[in-house]
């Protein structure tokens, strides 16, 4: 799910926008099915840590007396759809939700009755969303878009949510209404409640076999993950005909050098608007290559475009495991899970089992969903109705405020659960450490009392049963576990 500014590409698809026809009875039924079969069942979210104050804050801004645009973070593909549905069930049963064109086009009919708005709908989709929010039902869209699926960092946001909120404020003012318009940021983080090292090993073994890579079955979790990333990088560089990056560079530098070679090669053959963001260049190149392929019918040229699309897909994959997110003293189980999930979604795409897994990734164990609602942002109708220059500056300010509030709330969650997360984390092999510190980490890794190498936890955390709990009362693991952080 994502929001994006209207561009010539999205404008070309506006005539294909089909206005949703929500079935409100079915939407309520789906909410119950989603809670028990998907959230609690497949995705193993056993506890819903959503404090009363945060629930009250969300209810106060998403109701019939407001126009609200809900902006969640985007940490996990698949499960995020189900979290959106849970929010809708609890707070806004008629809420509209933005989704990618591919999802809307491929989703089964019962799910498209869930008031989904295609992000390829252009101006028509925007008008529908603004009108729906003004009716007091709420509109949800993930402003990060389909980005890196990282749990600990909010990436730059698209402007669409702020532009629609400002448009709603202008429309209400034109009608003489003083109804407030809000952007409602919301964040969540999923946390494993026990050691899932054995499942991590099993996942890495699956990837190694599928990609014909050496097995790391005798390594620790962290060592095997490091070797897997190194082997995949070498394999992909060979696949695309690039020599290894200069010796002496660390993993992140070699990976970035490879990514820039791919981007530079494609940018030399396709005309795109320049950008100082590699991620935006990748997205623009992907759109340009796709558009160019649609206008060519010769088989020889079509094969070249397929190769170029594979190159830009690899450039996008390389941006997932990045220094700014993963150069941390330790690697948590959650960080390894999201990284392996991205690898599978990018490189293991053949066959029905992989297709199903990539749509609905299977978690490694029971989890807690920590949900927080930062202070909402009230739209100033005067600035929303100002001249174009002032309005553009205001939109940029709204987006930055939204991102900052989301990141602060996420950082607070991480501080609150740091002890529990660190208990099952691993020294980060991608980070250079002084010799003394490295020896301490290796000693900890070799300690037979340490829960690390994949043995299943003999005394897992006890998870409360029943409907989602309001808080995390009984979900913390015993503090007697050996911490493995250096």
Judgement on whether residues 351 and 389 belong to the same structural domain of the protein:
no
Q: Which residue has the higher pLDDT, 85 or 108?
A: 85
E-assigned strand segments in 303-364: 330-331
pLDDT given at position 434: 55
Q: Is the pLDDT confidence value at 479 over 90?
A: no
On whether both 164 and 182 belong to a single domain, the answer is: yes
345-356 pLDDT tens trace: 999 999 999 988
- In-domain check, residue 435: no
Paired with 133 in beta bridges are none
User: Which residue has better confidence, 406 or 457?
Assistant: 406
pLDDT above 90: residue 474: no
Domain boundary among 343, 359, 375: 359
282 with 346, same domain?
yes
Considering the domain architecture, whether residues 160 and 206 belong to the same structural domain is answered as: no
- pLDDT of 296 higher than 80: no
**What average pLDDT does range 428-438 have in this prediction?**
70
Between 245 and 37, residue with greater pLDDT: 37
Residue 247 covered by a domain: yes
The residue out of 359, 378, 402 marking a domain boundary is: 359
Let me know whether 265 and 295 are in one domain. yes
pLDDT of residue 304: 84
pLDDT at residue 51, rounded to an integer: 98
My answer on whether 267 and 185 are in the same domain is: no
Dump pLDDT digits (tens) for 251-293. Answer: 999 999 999 999 999 999 999 988 888 888 998 999 899 888 8
**In this predicted structure, what is the pLDDT of residue 4?**
40
- The answer to whether residue 2 sits within a structural domain is no
pLDDT tens column, 40-74: 999 999 999 999 999 999 999 999 999 999 999 99
Same domain (yes/no): 173, 106: yes
DSSP class of 321: S
Residue 389 sits in the same domain as residue 353: no
Residue 430 lies in a domain: no
Q: Residue 319 pLDDT > 70, yes or no? A: yes
The distance of Cα 210 from the centroid of its chain, to the nearest Å, equals 25
Which domain does 374 fall in, by range? 8-193+366-416
Within-domain flag for 485: no
What pTM, to 2 d.p., does this model score? 0.83
For residues 76 and 211, state if they share a domain: no
Judge contact between 377 and 401, C-beta under 8 A: yes
d(CA 417, CA 46) in angstroms, rounded, equals: 16
* pLDDT interval class at 433 (50, 70, 90): low
Share of the chain above pLDDT 90, in %: 68
Look at strands 367-372 and 181-192 and give their pairing: antiparallel
**Per-residue confidence (pLDDT) for residue 110, from 0 to 100:** 76
291 Cβ contact partners less than 8 Å away, ≥ 6 residues apart? 9
Residue 227 has pLDDT above 80, yes or no: yes
Q: Which of 401, 416, 431 is the last residue of a domain?
A: 416
The answer as to whether 30 is a domain residue is yes
Distance of alpha carbon 17 from alpha carbon 119, whole angstroms: 9
Separation between Cα atoms, residue 372 and residue 185, nearest integer Å: 9
Domain count, the chain: 2
Residues 352 and 381 in one domain: no
| DSSP, res 485 | -
* 149: CATH: 3.40.1130
- Residue 266 sits in the same domain as residue 394: no
**Mean pLDDT across the chain:** 85
pLDDT at residue number 186: 98
- pLDDT for 14 equals 39
Distance CA 147, CA 338 (A): 12
* Same domain, yes or no: 114 and 75: yes
Residue 462, domain member (yes or no) = no
Average pLDDT on 399-408 reads 98
Tell me, yes or no, whether 313 lies in a domain: yes
| Mean pLDDT confidence for 456-472 | 36
pLDDT at 299 over 70: no
CA neighbor of 417 nearest in space, from 153, 154, 191: 191
Do 482 and 450 meet the contact criterion of CB atoms below 8 Å apart?
yes
65 phi, psi to nearest 5 deg: -95, 5
3-class secondary structure, 219: coil
Q: What is the pLDDT of residue 242?
A: 87
């Amino acid at each position: 799910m994502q929001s994006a500014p209207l561009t010539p590409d999205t404008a070309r698809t506006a005539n294909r926008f089909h206005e949703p026809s929500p079935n409100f009875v079915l939407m309520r039924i789906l909410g119950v099915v989603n809670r028990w079969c998907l959230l609690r069942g497949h995705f193993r979210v056993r506890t819903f840590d959503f404090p009363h104050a945060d629930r009250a804050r969300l209810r106060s801004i998403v109701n019939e007396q407001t126009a609200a645009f809900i902006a969640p973070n985007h940490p996990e593909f698949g499960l995020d759809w189900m979290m959106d549905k849970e929010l809708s069930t609890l707070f806004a049963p008629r809420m509209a939700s933005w989704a990618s064109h591919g999802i809307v086009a491929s989703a089964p009919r019962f799910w498209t009755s869930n008031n989904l708005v295609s992000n390829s709908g252009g101006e028509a989709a925007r008008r529908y969303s603004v009108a729906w929010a003004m009716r007091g039902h709420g509109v949800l869209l993930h402003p990060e878009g389909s980005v890196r699926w990282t749990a600990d960092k909010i990436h730059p946001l698209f402007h669409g949510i702020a532009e629609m909120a400002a448009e709603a404020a202008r429309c209400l003012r034109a009608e003489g209404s003083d109804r407030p318009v809000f952007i409602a940021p919301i964040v969540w983080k999923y946390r494993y409640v026990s050691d899932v090292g054995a499942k991590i090993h099993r996942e890495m073994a699956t990837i190694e076999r599928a990609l014909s890579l050496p097995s790391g079955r005798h390594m620790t979790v962290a060592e095997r993950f490091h070797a897997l990333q190194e082997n995949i990088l070498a394999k992909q560089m060979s696949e695309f005909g690039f020599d290894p990056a200069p010796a002496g560079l660390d993993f992140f530098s070699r990976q970035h050098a490879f990514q820039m070679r791919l981007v530079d090669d494609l940018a030399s053959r396709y005309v795109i608007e320049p950008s100082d963001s590699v991620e935006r260049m990748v997205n623009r190149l992907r759109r340009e290559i796709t558009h160019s392929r649609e206008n060519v019918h010769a088989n020889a040229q079509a094969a070249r475009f397929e190769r170029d699309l594979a190159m830009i897909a690899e450039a996008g994959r390389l941006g997932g495991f990045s220094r700014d997110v993963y150069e941390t003293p330790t690697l948590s189980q959650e960080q390894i899970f999201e990284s392996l999930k991205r690898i599978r979604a990018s490189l293991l795409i053949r066959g029905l089992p992989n297709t199903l897994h990539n749509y609905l990734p299977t978690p490694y164990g029971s989890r807690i969903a920590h949900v927080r609602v930062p202070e909402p942002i009230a739209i100033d109708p005067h600035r929303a109705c100002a001249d174009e220059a002032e309005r553009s500056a205001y939109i940029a300010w709204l987006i930055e405020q939204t991102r900052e509030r989301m990141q602060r709330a996420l950082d607070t969650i991480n501080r609150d659960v740091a002890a529990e997360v660190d208990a099952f984390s691993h020294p980060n092999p991608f980070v250079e450490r002084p010799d003394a510190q490295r020896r301490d980490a290796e000693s900890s890794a070799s300690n037979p009392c340490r829960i690390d190498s994949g043995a299943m936890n003999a005394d897992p955390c006890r998870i409360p049963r029943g409907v989602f709990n309001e808080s995390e009362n009984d979900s913390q693991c015993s503090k007697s576990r050996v911490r493995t952080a250096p």
